[in-house]
Chain A
Amino acid sequence: MAVVANAFGEALRLLTSFDAELMSIVGLSLQVSLGALFIAAVIGLPFGAALALYEFPGRRSITVFLNALMGLPPVVVGLFVYLALSRAGPFGFLELLFTPTAMVIAQTILITPIIAALTRQLVEDLWREYGEQLRSLGSGAGRAIPTLLWDGRYALITVLLAGLGRAMAEVGAVMIVGGNIAGFTRVMTTSIALETSKGNLSLALGLGIVLMLLALIVNAAAYLVRETAARQLG
């Protein structure tokens, strides 16, 4: 018990003193996951909306497949990205393996299906409500994509958060493609795994606390934005 208490005290000390190693790890985590979120949003939002609005043969199959991809195991994504980026792989010449860029790629692959699938559901529901009116005004499916994404903007915050949460919390993919190199590709989750196995519980615990706090802050902020918007915009 004393060990845990000690670790906790040390963790708080690291946090309150803005320990340099801890801060660089937190910084890289945010950089990688926000980067992945940005790319996944740019791809996933319009793709999800298009899947909801355009009717074409095979749409159901793609939807089912996309929903299945939401449950992609991070280590499997890591493995595939590793194979693609390794020296012998098709993209080996880019020399990206064990870099933060490789980690962004892996997390992007991991969360794009989540964002696309949740967006598809949301936009489909909106289209059920708006469809007749928009068609009456002369809007086709293509023109409705930006309209409905914009009208669903506050609900989409939750979708983006689901993606960010998944990216920040996963350890398997970044461990494989990043290599957990100190000061270069070490992020919060991989550090926690490493430090725990080394017995350095205080740093692990400190990082764990930061990870939880970040999740809490981001979600609280998003909740406030949504509530305010709902009251003001209906």
Chain B
Amino acid sequence: MSTHNNILPLRLERVSYAVRGRTLIDAIGATFQAGARTIILGPNGAGKSLLLRLCHGLLTPTDGRVVWGGPFAKEARRRQAMVFQRPVMLRRTAAANIDYALALRGFSGNDRKTRLSEALRNTGLAELASQPARVLSGGEQQRLALARAWSLEPEVLFLDEPTANLDPAASRAVERIIGAIHASGTKIIMTTHDLGQARRLADEVMFLHGGRLVERSPAEAFFEKPRTDTADAFMRGELYW
């Protein structure tokens, strides 16, 4: 297993995000190192998706800073990728969707061809390569979204509830691929509200509530017994808002 360490660590310095005076992310400070799979847990509206978007640069914090600390920090944008809850596919074939992303990042020639065919093979999509992407099933589309992200060999991969709309079998397939992407050396930062999934994938857990980072613990300790009452209530299904 190779670990890239070129743009990490990712440091959040009292990052806040407010919309029309409502603070949705409240002064979160955290550092993400290479390696561990970080799972962000929390009830609906805790700010999980917002936090991912702030880290990924799709949103700009209204206060605080998002800082990439590695030697290639300047290239951070092109060394990370994100998979969304609902995969967005262009009206072209599955293969062309991956190829589009590779072209955008400036890959060309044989390198691009190799990445394309490997991404399809690694996600079990080789058979579906020439199918129009938007007529694939939800599970296949999400696998294609993972293939597209993987082909870019990002140093960090953000995933926003990637299995929220999928049945159990498709979810397991997605989890397997996430595991493989991690094994190839990519840092995983992922939100989920599926506790079973969190247990299966997490190395460490960040628990968000009301836009604040309430607790951050190693996965084993967190699932044994969270340190905070709020997280404990969430785990028992008793945290309603």
Contact = CB atoms under 8 A, between A and B. Distances in A.
Interface of A: 129-130, 132-139, 143, 147, 150-151, 153-154, 232-234
Interface stretch (B9-17, B76-84, B166-174, B189-197): B76-84
Contacts of B105: 137-138
A195 B91 CA distance: 48
B58 A136 contact: yes
B214 to A, nearest CB: 27
A134 B105 CA distance: 11
A234 B135 contact: yes
Contacts of A135: 58
B84 A233 contact: no
B10 to A, nearest CB: 16
Interface in B62-96: 77-78, 81-82, 84, 88-92
B135 A232 contact: yes
Contacts of B84: 132-133, 136
Given A135-B58, A138-B77, A151 B104 contact: no
B132 A232 contact: yes
A233 B92 CA distance: 7
Contacts of A138: 77-78, 104-105
Nearest to B145: A133
Given A137-B105, A232-B132, A234-B132, A129 B88 contact: yes
B119 to A, nearest CB: 14
A139 B104 contact: yes
Contacts of A234: 89, 91, 132-135
A233 B77 contact: no
Contacts of B132: 232-234
Interface string B12-48: 0000000000000000000000000000000000000
A129 B87 CA distance: 10
A151 B77 contact: no
Interface of B: 53, 56, 58, 77-78, 81-82, 84, 88-92, 100-101, 104-105, 132-135, 148
Contact of B81 (A129, A134, A136, A150): A136
A133 to B, nearest CB: 4
A13 B90 CA distance: 50
A233 B78 contact: no
18 contacts: A133-B84, A136-B56, A136-B81, A136-B82, A137-B81, A137-B104, A137-B148, A138-B77, A138-B78, A138-B104, A138-B105, A139-B104, A151-B90, A151-B91, A233-B92, A233-B132, A233-B135, A234-B133
Given A137-B105, A138-B78, A151-B90, 17 more contacts: A132-B58, A132-B84, A133-B84, A136-B56, A136-B58, A136-B84, A137-B81, A137-B101, A137-B104, A137-B148, A138-B77, A147-B100, A151-B92, A232-B132, A233-B132, A233-B134, A234-B91
A193 B56 CA distance: 63
A129 to B, nearest CB: 7
B15 to A, nearest CB: 19
Among B82, B90, B134, which residue has the most Cβ atoms of chain A within 10 A? B90
A233 B133 CA distance: 7
Contacts of A133: 84, 88
B186 to A, nearest CB: 15
B68 to A, nearest CB: 15
Contacts of A153: 91
A234 B136 CA distance: 9
A233 B91 contact: yes
A135 B78 CA distance: 11
B69 to A, nearest CB: 21
Nearest to B88: A133
